[in-house]
Amino acid sequence: MMNEHIEKILISTEEIKAIVKRLGKQISEDYKGKKLILVGILKGSVVFMTDLMREIDLMCDIDFMAVSSYGGGTKTTGRVNILKDLSAPIEDCDVLVVEDIVDSGVTLNYILKYLVNRNPRSVKLCSLLDKPSGRIVEVNVDYIGCTIPDEFVVGYGLDYAEKYRNLPYIGVLKPEIYS
């Protein structure tokens, strides 16, 4: 069982629900009258994205990008490659990037600059988790679900070596799993 690989639960299913509701409500107020497009960053954001979009009471589009910066480990390699680009132009759109976690900031810093270059009306960032202790480059996170300490977490979309994304909560892996 996956549960046996988890040292402790950091954010429970119920807590996640409340966080997503709060963010959806705030986004619904802030984007009234705007041309909102949610851009989820694959694959980590998918679980969060599908819940968050249903808490947003506005007409909106969705799109996805896939990038890679982690070579299967728990620390960033500092290099970002685009594996999947947007499927439509974002000119005149109000882009809200949806991410699972901002750690070093390298991935988001790259993605935000890339999107700004495509002439949207605005670009903002919504991240379920923020790990400020890991920051290498500055990133402004406009909507934060929860700030977490310097621990490697999995679940609710977040993976370790592509596993544990389907856990319904966010937990800390036992160190022996990745050491």
> Which residues does the annotation mark as catalytic?
103
Residue 40 near ligand IMP by CB under 6 A: no
How buried is 81 (Cβ within 10 angstroms: 0-12 exposed, 13-18 middle, 19+ buried)? Answer: exposed
CB of 77 to Mg ion, least distance (A): 12
> Which residue in the block uniquely carries the two structure tokens 């007409």?
59
Residue 68 near ligand IMP by CB under 6 A: no
How buried is 93 (Cβ within 10 angstroms: 0-12 exposed, 13-18 middle, 19+ buried)? Answer: buried
Binding test (CB under 5 A) with Mg ion, winner from 24, 44, 145, 155: 44
The neighbour count for residue 150, using CB atoms within 10 Å, is: 9
C-alpha to C-alpha distance for 130 and 169, rounded to whole angstroms: 16
CB of 100 to Mg ion, least distance (A): 7
Residue 76 or 122: which CB sits closer to ligand IMP? 76
CB of 80 to ligand IMP, least distance (A): 8
Residue 102 near ligand IMP by CB under 6 A: yes
Contact 155, 48 (CB under 8 A): no
Binding test (CB under 6 A) with ligand IMP, winner from 34, 46, 53, 152: 152
Residue 4 or 150: which CB sits closer to ligand IMP? 150
| HSE, side-chain direction, 13 A CA sphere, residue 178 | 20
Residue 58 or 172: which CB sits closer to Mg ion? 172
Residue 24 near Mg ion by CB under 5 A: no
Q: Can you say whether the dihedral through the CA atoms of 113, 118, 119, 121 is positive or negative?
A: negative
Residue 158 near ligand IMP by CB under 6 A: yes
Token representation of residue 121: 């009306």
CB of 111 to ligand IMP, least distance (A): 9
Using CB under 6 A, list all residues that contact ligand IMP. Answer: 44, 69-70, 76, 99-108, 152-154, 158-159
